[in-house]
Chain A
Amino acid sequence: MNRGDEVRLEVDGVAISVPDGANVAAAVARATSAFRRGVGGDPRGPLCGIGVCFECRVRIDARAHQRACMVLARPGMQVQTRG
């Protein structure tokens, strides 16, 4: 894939496109600010951006609890938030 190309994937069933090289967090942010819900039910999104805090975790291609900031967006990925 060339620089400047877009990657198309789905977040909660909605088609999203991000620049090639973007991570899943960048894709989710285009769909919603709530990546997950806290234990008490309030919405949460990325905090640390580098894989430490686990606040950005989502389901990617049926695998739960993936850190959206640590995974590169790939064409056709199915991402589910719990927002």
Chain B
Amino acid sequence: MAEGYEVLVCGAGPAGLAAAQAAASQGVRVGLVDAQARPGGQVWRQDLRFGSVRAARRAIAAATGAVQWLGATQIVAAERGELLAERAGGAVRLRYERLVLATGARELILPFPGWTLPGVTGAGGLQALVKQGWPIAGRRVVVAGTGPLLLAVAAGLRKHGARLLTILEQAPAMRVRRFACSLAASPGTALQAMRLRFGSLGIPYRCGEFVVAAQGDARLQSVSIRTPRGLRQLECDQLAVGYGLVPNVELAELLGCRLDRSGPHAAVATDARLRTSISGVYAAGEVRGVGGAAAASIEGRIAGLAACGQEAAAARLAGLQQRARRFAARVARSFALDPRLRALASPETIVCRCEDVPLGALAGFDDGRAAKLATRCGMGACQGRLCGDILAALGRYPQPAAAAPLFPVRLSTLSEPMADSLTPTSTRGN
């Protein structure tokens, strides 16, 4: 079947929710689509025990009340003016006049020996799982990686009854302290307060330390930790490890939007009104480069207004947006990755988890495509997202180009007729 919208927003996190609400306030027909069953994105993912934070509840209520909400709907292909999506009932074609890309970001998890063991997850990854009922009460958890996210993750896990053993921040203590002190406003106070609270609970927040290996028989049983004083070993049941975020640019790339490839990971390039290089397509939030939820919300409003021709109203938000982006840049500098993290994987360590390709198998290939054809690296179900991000971060190859379908799909989805008309076809089963 097919649906048509004046403004279609892809992604229902802070950016997408704000864009949808801003566009709907202009009286146009708005669709809001997300692969997740519920709106909120990752940062505002609903917790089945504790609900959502107030900002999330407000944004979700304001947006979903005024737009058509299309949850559990995965975009798999794109043409000019139309997206093909898959959902439980079958395929759907979504036609649009203007499109706002608010597809967010995913976690970067750098490989180390043992990282494929069950029990090793992303940091935000474990948070997402626990919010949806993953059993964590009484489990011994190590939180590791980098950035303020680690503290938020640790706080959430504790609330669910996890036995938090330690928080390992790879950035050196001096840089973290300088960052915390530089924050005059509330985020810094919150960070400091949280550090103090963990300290008073006997949960150490250790800077300049990182996990170098995980061990276990069929599942995680312990981790090896590099400290400034040498290696130490810690028994645990879960490791939540995250080294920052990578923008989800695949849909933008498929639409032909110009990408900024100046960093290791691509981001969608836009002008100040958040217009991409493709007419009628806007981008907001993490997909433009990781900037945090505050920047995402503001950019969502800008894009939603700009997509409705409200240029002046959008321009008035530029100051707020730039301030939020400057803060994000400071976070990025303060938590820049220790180069030793890029050398944790041994030749035997798997980098492509879908096809079990070890890092050593890629030796001698100076081109990602040649490596893929020879080793199957990047040919599995995740379509090269994980290993592509990793190999880009390790400085091996640039991220591979996106191609349709963006996710594995059923054959019946691909045979969904072209939307020459809006006549609904039968809703297909499997």
Chain A contact residues, CB within 8 Å of chain B: 18-23, 25-27, 29-30, 33-35, 38-40, 42-55, 57, 63, 65, 69-70, 72-73
Q: What are the residues of chain A within 8 A of B253 when measuring CB–CB? A: none
CB distance from B108 to the nearest CB of A (A): 10
Bound complex: CA A48 to CA B119 (Å): 12
Q: What are the residues of chain A within 8 A of B67 when measuring CB–CB? A: none
Q: What are the residues of chain A within 8 A of B350 when measuring CB–CB? A: 38
Whether B125 lies near A22 (C-beta < 8 A) is: no
Bound complex: CA A48 to CA B386 (Å): 9
Whether B116 lies near A44 (C-beta < 8 A) is: yes
Number of interface residues of B (CB under 8 A): 42
Interface: B417 (CB within 8 A): no
**Would you list 14 pairs from A and B whose C-beta atoms are within 8 A, ordered by A residue?**
A20-B48, A26-B129, A29-B129, A29-B134, A33-B119, A34-B118, A34-B219, A38-B116, A43-B117, A45-B118, A46-B125, A47-B120, A50-B36, A63-B430
Which of B3-11, B25-33, B279-287, B352-360 lines the interface with chain A? B352-360
Q: Which of B42, B120, B128 has the most CB of A within 10 A?
A: B128
Interface: B288 (CB within 8 A): no
CB distance from B45 to the nearest CB of A (A): 8
CB distance from A53 to the nearest CB of B (A): 5
CB distance from B428 to the nearest CB of A (A): 13
Q: What are the residues of chain A within 8 A of B132 when measuring CB–CB? A: 21-23, 25-26, 69
CB distance from A67 to the nearest CB of B (A): 9
CB distance from B282 to the nearest CB of A (A): 23
Which of B228-236, B259-267, B377-385 lines the interface with chain A? B377-385
Bound complex: CA A25 to CA B120 (Å): 14
Q: What are the residues of chain A within 8 A of B121 when measuring CB–CB? A: 45-49
Bound complex: CA A46 to CA B107 (Å): 13
Selected contact of A42 from candidates B116, B119, B380, CB within 8 Å = B116
Q: What are the residues of chain B within 8 A of A73 when measuring CB–CB? A: 133
Whether B48 lies near A19 (C-beta < 8 A) is: yes
Interface: B106 (CB within 8 A): yes
Bound complex: CA A23 to CA B128 (Å): 10
Selected contact of A53 from candidates B46, B386, B430, CB within 8 Å = B386
Interface: B126 (CB within 8 A): yes
Bound complex: CA A56 to CA B117 (Å): 12
Interface: B49 (CB within 8 A): yes
**Are A65 and B381 also in contact (CB < 8 A) when A49-B126, A51-B35, A52-B386 are?**
yes
**Are A19 and B49 also in contact (CB < 8 A) when A44-B353, A48-B106, A52-B385 are?**
yes
The closest CB in chain A to the CB of B353 belongs to A55
Q: What are the residues of chain B within 8 A of A53 when measuring CB–CB? A: 353, 382, 385-386
Mask: chain B, 403-430; 1 = CB below 8 Å from A; 0 = not: 0000010000000000000000000001
Q: What are the residues of chain A within 8 A of B117 when measuring CB–CB? A: 43
Q: What are the residues of chain A within 8 A of B386 when measuring CB–CB? A: 47-48, 52-53
The closest CB in chain A to the CB of B118 belongs to A45
The closest CB in chain A to the CB of B350 belongs to A38
- The SS class assigned to the A binding surface is loop
Q: What are the residues of chain A within 8 A of B36 when measuring CB–CB? A: 50-51, 70
Bound complex: CA A73 to CA B42 (Å): 19
CB distance from B144 to the nearest CB of A (A): 14
Bound complex: CA A45 to CA B353 (Å): 11
Whether B356 lies near A38 (C-beta < 8 A) is: yes
Whether B125 lies near A47 (C-beta < 8 A) is: yes
Q: What are the residues of chain B within 8 A of A50 when measuring CB–CB? A: 36, 42, 106-107, 124-125, 128
Whether A26 lies near B135 (C-beta < 8 A) is: yes
Whether B118 lies near A43 (C-beta < 8 A) is: yes
CB distance from A55 to the nearest CB of B (A): 6
Whether A43 lies near B356 (C-beta < 8 A) is: no
Q: What are the residues of chain A within 8 A of B35 when measuring CB–CB? A: 51, 70
Whether A65 lies near B133 (C-beta < 8 A) is: no
Within 8 A of A (CB), among B21-76: 35-37, 42, 46, 48-49, 72
Q: What are the residues of chain B within 8 A of A30 when measuring CB–CB? A: 135
Mask: chain B, 88-127; 1 = CB below 8 Å from A; 0 = not: 0000000000000000001101000000111111101111
Selected contact of A40 from candidates B48, B120, B129, B356, CB within 8 Å = B356
Q: What are the residues of chain A within 8 A of B49 when measuring CB–CB? A: 19
**Are A49 and B128 also in contact (CB < 8 A) when A26-B133, A26-B134, A42-B116 are?**
yes
CB distance from A19 to the nearest CB of B (A): 5
Whether B127 lies near A44 (C-beta < 8 A) is: no
Whether A35 lies near B118 (C-beta < 8 A) is: yes
Q: What are the residues of chain B within 8 A of A55 when measuring CB–CB? A: 353
CB distance from A79 to the nearest CB of B (A): 14
Bound complex: CA A49 to CA B400 (Å): 22
